[in-house]
């Protein structure tokens, strides 16, 4: 799902690869360092967070408050012209999905 990651006056396009109640995995060409406070923005989503790990083209975010990943994914599906991949979330206990 396409999104924007903002931090310290910088705005970069990213792709949300994975999202959960308190976290997100995003990929992009240029990403902030560990510890950086960020804002993740996508359709029907705007949430602050902190980068908790960083790799060459992706990083993990700890979100500042709980979100409903099912709602975010369903909104993304409503805007997708044609889904090529099916994503199914299974709640294994309250607030935890696989």
What pLDDT score does 20 carry? 93
* pLDDT tops 70 at residue 21: yes
* pLDDT tops 80 at residue 28: yes
Domain 2-90 has CATH 1.10.287: no
Give the number of other CB atoms < 10 A from CB of residue 20: 16
Give Cβ neighbours of residue 63 (< 8 Å, ≥ 6 apart).
Answer: 22, 23, 24, 40, 47, 48, 49
* pLDDT tops 60 at residue 44: yes
pLDDT in tens, 59-85: 999 999 999 998 888 876 565 555 455
Query: What's the whole-model pTM score?
Result: 0.76
Give the per-residue SS3 of 30-90.
CCCCCCCEEEEEECCEEEEEEEEEECCCEEEEEECCCCCHHHHHHHHHHHCCCCCCCCCCC
Domain boundaries defined on the chain: 2-90
């Amino acid at each position: 799902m396409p999104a924007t990651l903002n931090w310290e006056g910088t705005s970069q396009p990213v792709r949300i690869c994975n999202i959960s109640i308190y976290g997100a995995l995003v990929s992009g060409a240029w990403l902030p360092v560990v510890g950086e406070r960020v804002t993740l923005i996508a359709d029907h989503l705007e949430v602050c967070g902190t980068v908790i790990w960083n790799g060459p083209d992706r990083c993990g975010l700890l979100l500042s408050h709980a979100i409903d990943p099912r709602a975010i994914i369903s909104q993304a599906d409503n805007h997708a012209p044609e889904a090529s991949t099916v994503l199914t979330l299974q709640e294994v206990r309250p607030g935890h999905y696989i």
